Every structure is written in structure tokens, then in C-alpha cells.
């Protein structure tokens, strides 16, 4: 019954079409009031813009593409003032990015695609090559592998469409960053940036001709910042260098490129909040904790020593390492026309590490007195502990600061949070060979082969409970009972509850065939089919529970998860077909309709195979789209109505005590996304982007703890939108551009059970760009200027809505500003 909404959404798209056609007819005379030359150039560029992502023929005019794709130039990327790669997705309708974790570790949801964390339906590409063929592993999604800098020329973001057939077959969203290349004229720029959190950053890039038919580009960035949430140590510290070398050939060219990144980024998780008295209201600040700028991280917690083995084995870790990235990526892009055939080959190789070290919250805070009382009851109920204490029962205890400072007041709120340590050693190689030719008038046939080999070596220590004060820049706390029981030692009140050492390797081989038929000047039809095989081999350690020091009185490490020396293995091979069928019809030169159906798959990746003991199914996804595109001097409109249907989707949730909840279900959704812009007078543009959707779960087994059929898909708002006016003021010496963005995000549910409500919120960003001639830019931007409070995540470590009137959530960042000076030469 829910799919009946799709024809209604199609009607919306057709209504917009009719209105826009009428506006097109009525504004023929109005176009005599043409905008300034600079605006005319921008409109002309939009009309003629060519996109390569999702195109079978290596490039198609954006207006003629029979699928939804958003583009952003270097200038538009800067104007977005994105805090991370994932945060840039806020400019894309139909995508909701939770970028509040910092520079890495985002959760990204795609229109109608259910996902509980990370970004399983988002692929990030560099020059058309997937950075890592699997879009998501535990503690790693593709956006964490990329840092934006001034070497990026532009970005293209494809949703749905023909992506199920090409490259790695991503059915969700593909975010393709295109690097700059050298040209005949040498050019370069240097940009200095400062901002909130004592940010200090420099970007530089230079490109030009090296010799006849040889061209080069080199650039990168370095920066350090304390972050909007000051953990008392650098939140971001590092940089990268990118370079390319291009050789122009007769009827073609080849480009070799590389990028080296060495970056450290703090990772922010949930903070304590006071639950709202009325359902639908926002939680309020927890006493002593500012949810907009606060973080539990601190210098006292920064350097941690984790007990990981029974023979005194320890790991020394630095929380400043956070979710860092230390990788080298290299690739090649070859294009050549041979005897009427267009031949392209894109290949890339990635090697490096992506660690995670962060504080993950669990149970609600309580007073130190209440914590001690709970510890007394637990210790006295444990016969082994009582025996080790000589039969003495505890009657009380003391709490002291681990790093000095005396006793902790009984009224002080404290909480236990885990310091989770995950190390990942990554390698991947991808190659895509594609040939196409017009084999008959109007018929272009494309054939391709895709190969990927990718691996990861992981070492996990989850848990490592740490007792700390519930305040900004928390302090670790030790608790001892009066019968000798040590509840918290050196700040730790728990050891690792999940220890893992694993090795995984995946191989994907796919072949595809696509045909594009231009029936006449107005009508085009295309279709493609893909056959893919994935083979996965994995070896995982078997943990066991031990008392790390063989002392029952030190209860914090009595039940530690350690490696047993045993292993299990999983070997899995899957083979599946995918397809896409679409078509476009030109109502006018720059006004098009399109429709498309695709059927894609998401193969189970390493973590879902481990969690399901190798039984996780292949996810089957169908999408239906009807869209409309037009660009004129006074307006632009891109509108797409969609329906999605999922089968065999795995769900997994790690709770604060180490238990894991797994299940398999599906979902169904309908919606409409839009990118609209009007230019009513010279130098003024107002854009309005966003989406409305209604996506719900289905196929959960009866009594499932993971979710309930009919519940709304977690973490995705029914409605989200961005209104962005901008006004350019020409000057004799250059120009001044003013811009602002008002964003509204609707209510969401943090969990599949629909018990943790995340109320909607609204934010205001603004900026000014002063251009002095063609060489100097001065930019000032501010985000969340009204200091709005909003949540992007609830407590992912519990089932239910929380206890004790206190909840955990990950709020958006508070007010922040950034200023930059750019000099071009």
C-alpha cells in the first residue's frame, strides 16, 4: 500500500514541470533584463556543464543526464564552509550527513536507504576511482579517507541512477572528487586560514606546462586546530600533498596522480543531556556541561594505558590520534580513441592506516555516592570477591581523582565511558577498463570490466571502561571500597569487553554492457546490465574471558576479553546481476524530463559477515525515479521523485556491555528531492534545496530487539531544506558577495525501535567574500550563528530511550567562524 505514494510524487514532479514551462514562456521577454556579464557566464557554464560520474560515454551534459547529480565548483565548495568531507554533503538534496564527530567518522544516510551508522551506501571516489571498494567497514567509512583542499577542481555527487552498473556498483550515492590538472598557462594560489579553535591552516597549489605535451600539478595543505570542542589538545593536526602528471596524446591523454595524507583528528561522541519533560522537545544542557562546545576529552584522559593481556601486556595510547588517516593513494587515468573506439582505463592503489581511539559513552551519569553504593552491592554479591577480602563485606568506599586533587565529592556526577581502540591497516587496488563506440547511427555501445582487491588487518579493544567526572574536560576517578576491593584503578573501572584480531581480503570482478540510443533529437533511451562476483576470505580470533592480574579484589579487570590463540575463518562467494533502464525527453533545448528504474545489490562486507557467522544475505535494492531539469537566465530547477525498496538488510548494534544485537529486515520509501534557484534581479540569486521522504521498516522478525515493522527509518528526517540567498555587489576594484544559508532539519528517530526521538532544529550560516581584482580573495564565514542546539545522534550503545532522566546525544557544533586570505598568481 505504501508504494501508492510514488505516483503522487510523480504528479508533484509533473506539476513543477507544467509551472516551469509556463514560467519559461512568460519570461522570454523578461530575459531582456539580462544579468551582468559575470552572471551570464555562470548561467552559460551551468547550461553546458559536463559530468562524468555515472556516464557510460565518459561525459554527458548535466542537463541531459537521465539521473540525479549535484555538482559543486571549487568556489562553491569554499562557500559551503564544510567542516569535513562528509559535511560537504549538506549541499546535496536527499543526503543527510551526521558530521558532528569531527573530520572523520561520519554517519551518512541516503534518501530512503536505511543505515544505522557509518555510510554503507556512499562511495567516495578520486578521479573516478573508489578510494576503498567497500564503502563501509566498522569504524571506517569512505569520507574518512578523504580530505578536501585546494587541489580539488570540483565534485560530482550522483544518487541512484546508472551507478548500479558502473565502477563498484554503488546503488546509493557516489561522491566523485576531480583533481586539478596542469594546463598551458601556469597558475597557482596560496590560502591562509584562521578560525575558531585557534585554527591555523595554509593551502597551496601550482600547475602548468612542464614540456611539450607534459603538464603537472602539485599542492596540499597543513593545519592545526583545537577544534570547536576544545579537548585541551589539538583536535586536528596534519596535512597532505597531492600531485599529478599529464601527458597529452594524439586523440587522448594519460594522467598519473598521487596523494599522501598524514592527519590526526579528534573524534567526538555523545555527551550527557537532561531528557526533555515533554516528548518532542529538545533535551537541555547537563549541569556543568555545554553541549555546543563541551567534550569529555581532556589532558588528564589524553594518555591512556590499556591492559590487554594476562601477562602484563599493555597498550599506551594518545586520544589526540582520534580517527586519523595515514595513507598513500596513487592512480592512473588513461583515455584514447583507437579506430573509432573510445578506450578508458582508471586504476588506483591505496595503502595505509586509519586508527580509531575515542571515548564512547554508555550508562547515564550518577552521583559518586550512588556509584559507590552500587559498587558495594555488586561486590558483596560476588562470593569470590568476598572470599578474597577475607570474608569482609564492604560497607562504603572512597572516590579520589586519579591524577591527584584529593577526594571526589559525593554529590559530584560521574559516569563510566569506554575508551575504544581500533587499529586498521588497509590496502586496495581497483581497475576499470571501459570501451565504447557508436555502432549504428544513434546507438553507442559500452562494455567494461571492473576488478578490485582489498584487505584490512584489524586489532580491536572495545570497552576499557573509564570512570570520569560528568563535565567538560572530564577527570578520571578511582574508587576503592573499605574491604580492599578496587572498583576503579588508574581511572579504569572495566577492561576490554570485546577483543578482536582479524584479517580480511575481498576480490570483486564485474563485467557490464550498456547501450545508449538517441531515438531522435528529443528522445533518448539507455540500458545497462552488470554481472559481479565477490569472494571474501577472513580469519578472526576467538576471545576468552580472564582475570588480568589474578586478583579478585581488582574487580575492574576480572572479566577481561583477551585473545585465546584460537581462530575461526569465513569463506564466502556471491554472484549477482544488476541493471538500469532509463530515458530522457527534451521539452526544449535546456528543459528535460527523465525516468529510470534500477536494481542493484550491496554485497555483505567483512563486518556483517563476521557478525552473522558468514550468513548475511546480499542486500537487494530497487529504485524508481522520475525527474525534471531546466536552466534559464532567471531560474534553475532539478526535481526528482523516487521510490526505494530494500530486502535482506542486516542490522547490528554493539551495546555498552559488549552484547551485540543482530537482525535482518528491509524497508520501503517514497520521496521527492529538489534543487531550485531563482535570479529575479541582477546579481541576486536565491536557491532552495532539500528533500521530503517517508521511509519505513519492513520484514523484521516478530519480537525482534533490533526494530519494529512500520517504524520510520532511523536517523533520516522526513523533511530537510536549505535556503541560500546570495548577492554580489560590483566595485571598481572587484566585488563583494554576501551569502547566507538557513537550514531546517525535521524530527528523526535515533534508533530502529523509534524510542530515542531527535527533535528537529534550524541553523543559520552566513559569509562574505571580498574579491580584489582577479588575484586576491578575503573570505569570512560563520556557521550556526544563532548557537542553535540540535542532535544528530542519540545513545547508540543502548536499546530504549535511556534511564534516570539523563540521555546521551551528539549535538551539532556551536557557533564557529573562519577567515581566509587567498592570493592567486
**Residues in contact with 4: Cβ distance below 8 Å, sequence separation at least 6, in sequence order:** none
DSSP string, 706-750: S--TTPBPTT--SEEEEEEEEEEEEETTEEEEEEEEEEEE--EES
How would DSSP label each residue in 525-594?
Answer: EEEEEEEEEEEEEEEEEEEEEE-TTS-TTBGGGTTEEEEEEEEEEEEEEEEEEEEEEEEEEEEETTEEEE
Contact 478, 490 (CB under 8 A): yes
Closest CA to 417 of 524, 304, 576: 304
Is residue 387 exposed (0-12), middle (13-18) or buried (19+ Cβ within 10 Å)?
A: exposed
Quickly tell me which residue has 566585488 as its cell.
735
Phi, psi of 333 (to 5 degrees): -130, 110
> Are 436 and 475 spatial neighbours (Cβ–Cβ below 8 Å)?
no
Length of the chain: 825
The residue whose grid cell reads 583528528 is 265
- Nearest-angstrom CA–CA distance, 421 and 415: 19
Q: What is the pLDDT of residue 36?
A: 58
Other CB atoms within 10 A of residue 537 CB: 16
Question: Hey, what's the cell of 732?
Answer: 571598481
User: Residue 496 pairs with which residues in a beta bridge?
Assistant: 463
The per-residue pLDDT for 672 is 97
What is the chain's Cα-based Rg? 28
Determine the pLDDT at residue 798: 58
Burial 420-454 (b: 16+ CB within 10 A, else e): bbbbbebbbbbbbbbebbeeeeeebbbebebbbbb
- Average pLDDT across the chain, whole number: 91
Contact (Cβ atoms closer than 8 angstroms) between residue 460 and residue 373:
no
Given this model, what pLDDT does residue 22 score?
Answer: 43
pLDDT at 28: 40
Cα 189 to Cα 206: distance, rounded to the nearest angstrom: 7
HEC profile for 743-782? Answer: EEECCEECCCCCCCEECCEEEEEEEEEEEECCCEEEEEEE
Q: Where are the domains of the chain?
A: 2-366+416-824
Determine phi and psi for 88, rounding to 5 degrees.
-65, -25
Scan for cell 528517530, then name that residue. Answer: 749
Give the whole-angstrom CA distance, residue 162 versus residue 154.
Answer: 21
Helices assigned H by DSSP within 265-330: 299-302
CA angle 560, 563, 567 (to 5 degrees): 140
Instruction: State the pLDDT at residue 801.
Output: 58
- Residue 238's alpha-carbon distances to 241, 452, 665, 733, in angstroms, are 11, 29, 41, 36
C-alpha dist (Å) from residue 301 to 231, 288, 472, 489:
10, 18, 12, 14
Question: Block means of pLDDT (10 residues each) for the chain, length 825 residues?
Answer: 40 40 42 54 87 92 95 95 96 94 93 86 97 95 97 97 96 97 96 97 98 98 96 96 97 97 94 82 88 95 92 91 95 95 97 96 91 97 96 97 93 96 98 95 95 98 96 97 97 95 98 96 96 98 95 96 95 98 96 97 94 92 97 96 90 65 84 97 96 92 79 92 98 97 94 86 98 97 96 70 72 97 97
**CATH number belonging to domain 2-366+416-824:** 2.40.170.20
Burial tier of 339 (Cβ tally within 10 Å: 0-12, 13-18, 19+): exposed
Residue 38: its pLDDT value, please?
61
Cell numbers representing residue 178 in the block: 576531480
Q: What integer pLDDT is reported at residue 10 of this predicted model?
A: 41
Query: Do 135 and 119 touch, CB atoms closer than 8 A?
Result: yes
Q: Please tell me the predicted confidence (pLDDT) of residue 58.
A: 83
CA of 17: how far to CAs of 633, 795, 815, in Å? 17, 43, 39
pLDDT attached to residue 23: 40
Amino acid at each position: 500500500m505504501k508504494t501508492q505514494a510514488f505516483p503522487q510524487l510523480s504528479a508533484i514532479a509533473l506539476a513543477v514541470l507544467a509551472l516551469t514551462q509556463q514560467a519559461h514562456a512568460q519570461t522570454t521577454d523578461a530575459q531582456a533584463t539580462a544579468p551582468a556579464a559575470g552572471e551570464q557566464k555562470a548561467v552559460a557554464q551551468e547550461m553546458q556543464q559536463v559530468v562524468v560520474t555515472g556516464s557510460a560515454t565518459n561525459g554527458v551534459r548535466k542537463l541531459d543526464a537521465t539521473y540525479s547529480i549535484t555538482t559543486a565548483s571549487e568556489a562553491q565548495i569554499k562557500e559551503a564552509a564544510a567542516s569535513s568531507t562528509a559535511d560537504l554533503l549538506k549541499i546535496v538534496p536527499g543526503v543527510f550527513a551526521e558530521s558532528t564527530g569531527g573530520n572523520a567518522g561520519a554517519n551518512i544516510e541516503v534518501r530512503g536507504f536505511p543505515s544505522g551508522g557509518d555510510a554503507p551506501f556512499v562511495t567516495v571516489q578520486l578521479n573516478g576511482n573508489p578510494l576503498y571498494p567497500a564503502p563501509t567497514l566498522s569504524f571506517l567509512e569512505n569520507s574518512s579517507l578523504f580530505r578536501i583542499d585546494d587541489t580539488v577542481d570540483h565534485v560530482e555527487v550522483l544518487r541512484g541512477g546508472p551507478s548500479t552498473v558502473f565502477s563498484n556498483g554503488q546503488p546509493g550515492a557516489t561522491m566523485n572528487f576531480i583533481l586539478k590538472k596542469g594546463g598551458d598557462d601556469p597558475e597557482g594560489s596560496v590560502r591562509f586560514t584562521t578560525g575558531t579553535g585557534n585554527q591555523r591552516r595554509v593551502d597551496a597549489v601550482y600547475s602548468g606546462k612542464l614540456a611539450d605535451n607534459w603538464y603537472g600539478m602539485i599542492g596540499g595543505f597543513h593545519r592545526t586546530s583545537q577544534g570547536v570542542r576544545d579537548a585541551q589538545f589539538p583536535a586536528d593536526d596534519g596535512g597532505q600533498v597531492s600531485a599529478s602528471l599529464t601527458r597529452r596524446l594524439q586523440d587522448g591523454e594519460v594522467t598519473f596522480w598521487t596523494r599522501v595524507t598524514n592527519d590526526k583528528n579528534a573524534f567526538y561522541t555523545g555527551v550527557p543531556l537532561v531528557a526533555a519533560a515533554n516528548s518532542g522537545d529538545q533535551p537541555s544542557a547537563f549541569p556543568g556541561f555545554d553541549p555546543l562546545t563541551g567534550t569529555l576529552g581532556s589532558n588528564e584522559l589524553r594518555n591512556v594505558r590499556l591492559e590487554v593481556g594476562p601477562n602484563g601486556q599493555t597498550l599506551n595510547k594518545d586520544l589526540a590520534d582520534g580517527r586519523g588517516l595515514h595513507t598513500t593513494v596513487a592512480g592512473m587515468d588513461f583515455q584514447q580513441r583507437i579506430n573509432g573506439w573510445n578506450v578508458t582505463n582508471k586504476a588506483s592503489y591505496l595503502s595505509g592506516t586509519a586508527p580509531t581511539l575515542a571515548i564512547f559513552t554508555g550508562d547515564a551519569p550518577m552521583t559518586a555516592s550512588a556509584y559507590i553504593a552500587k559498587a558495594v552491592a555488586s561486590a558483596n554479591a560476588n562470593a569470590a570477591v568476598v572470599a578474597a577480602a577475607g570474608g569482609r563485606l564492604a560497607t562504603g568506599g572512597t572516590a579520589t581523582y586519579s591524577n591527584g586533587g584529593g577526594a571526589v565529592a559525593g554529590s559530584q556526577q560521574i559516569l563510566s565511558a569506554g575508551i575504544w581502540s581500533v587499529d586498521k591497516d588497509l590496502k586496495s587496488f581497483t581497475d576499470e577498463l571501459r570501451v565504447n563506440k557508436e555502432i549504428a547511427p544513434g546507438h553507442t555501445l559500452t562494455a567494461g570490466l571492473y576488478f578490485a582487491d582489498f584487505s584490512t588487518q584489524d586489532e580491536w579493544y572495545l570497552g576499557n571502561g573509564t570512570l570520569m567526572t560528568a563535565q567538560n574536560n572530564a577527570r578520571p576517578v578511582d574508587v576503592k571500597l573499605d574491604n580492599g576491593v578496587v572498583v576503579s584503578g588508574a581511572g579504569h573501572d572495566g577492561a576490554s569487553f570485546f577483543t578482536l584480531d582479524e584479517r580480511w581480503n575481498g576480490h570483486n570482478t564485474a563485467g557490464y554492457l550498456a547501450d545508449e540510443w538517441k531515438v531522435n533529437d528529443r528522445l533518448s533511451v539507455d540500458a545497462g546490465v552488470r554481472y559481479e562476483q565477490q569472494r571474501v576470505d577472513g580469519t578472526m580470533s576467538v576471545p576468552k574471558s580472564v582475570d588480568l592480574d589474578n586478583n579478585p579484589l581488582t574487580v575492574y579487570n576480572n572479566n577481561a576479553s583477551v585473545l585465546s590463540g584460537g581462530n575461526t575463518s569465513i569463506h564466502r562467494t556471491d554472484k549477482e546481476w544488476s541493471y538500469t533502464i532509463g530515458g530522457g525527453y527534451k521539452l526544449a533545448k535546456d528543459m528535460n524530463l527523465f525516468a529510470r528504474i534500477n536494481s542493484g545489490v550491496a554485497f555483505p562486507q567483512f563486518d556483517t559477515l563476521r557478525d552473522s557467522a558468514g550468513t548475511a544475505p546480499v542486500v537487494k535494492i530497487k529504485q524508481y525515479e522520475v525527474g525534471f531539469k531546466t536552466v534559464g537566465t532567471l531560474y534553475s530547477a532539478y526535481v526528482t521523485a523516487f521510490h526505494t525498496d530494500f530486502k535482506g538488510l542486516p542490522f547490528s548494534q554493539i551495546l555498552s556491555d559488549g552484547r551485540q544485537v543482530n537482525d535482518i529486515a528491509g524497508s520501503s520509501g517514497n520521496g521527492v528531492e529538489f534543487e531550485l534557484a531563482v535570479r529575479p534581479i541582477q546579481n541576486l540569486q536565491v536557491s532552495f534545496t532539500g528533500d521530503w521522504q517517508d521511509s519505513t521498516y519492513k520484514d523484521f522478525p516478530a519480537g525482534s530487539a533490533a526494530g519494529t515493522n512500520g517504524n520510520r527509518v532511523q536517523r533520516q528526517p522526513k523533511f530537510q531544506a536549505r535556503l541560500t540567498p546570495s548577492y554580489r555587489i560590483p566595485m571598481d576594484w572587484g566585488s563583494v558577495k554576501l551569502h547566507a544559508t538557513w537550514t531546517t532539519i525535521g524530527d528523526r528517530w535515533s534508533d530502529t525501535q523509534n524510542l530515542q526521538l531527535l527533535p528537529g532544529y534550524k541553523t543559520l550560516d552566513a559569509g562574505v567574500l571580498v574579491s580584489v581584482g582577479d588575484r586576491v580573495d578575503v573570505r569570512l564565514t560563520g556557521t550556526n550563528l544563532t548557537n542553535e542546539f540540535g542532535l544528530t545522534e542519540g545513545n547508540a550503545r543502548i536499546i530504549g530511550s535511556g534511564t534516570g532522566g539523563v540521555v546521551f546525544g551528539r549535538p551539532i557544533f556551536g557557533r564557529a567562524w573562519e577567515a581566509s586570505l587567498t592570493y592567486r598568481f
